Structure 1
C-alpha cells in the first residue's frame, strides 16, 4: 500500500503544479489570472482550466503544497 500512496502523492503534486504553473501571473497582461488549456491550444485559456485551477488552489493549501497566503493571493 505504501507504493500506491507514493504514486497518488506524485499525481496530486503533479496535477496541482500544472494548474499553478500554467496560470498567467503577469498583472500587466490582458489574460492575467487565466490558465492555459493545453488540450486545445497552448495560447488559449478555458473556463474549465480556470475552474480546475481555482479548485487546485484549495487542494494545494490543504495538502501543504502552498501556504494559505499564497493561495489567497493567487485566488
Structure 2
C-alpha cells in the first residue's frame, strides 16, 4: 500500500512517500530511510497517511526497541 509519512512536529512539506503493507510498517520504514529526531523519551511520533483513503494515523516509535504504538 502507498502511504505518506512525516514526523508529527514537521509540516506536510517534509512528508515522504513510503510503500509498505501496513501503516505501522510505513512508520518504521520512514525512520529507517529518512532518519529521525528523538525527544527526551527516545521515541518519535509520526503521522502516516493512507494515500488511497486519506485516513491519517499517529504512531509513536521507540527508537531503542522499535516498538510501534498509536499516539496517546
The TM-score normalised by the length of structure 2 is: 0.27
Relative CO higher for 1 or 2, CA cutoff 8 Å, sep ≥ 6? 2
Point out the structure with the larger strand share: 2
Point out the structure with the larger helix share: 1
Structure with larger Rg:
1
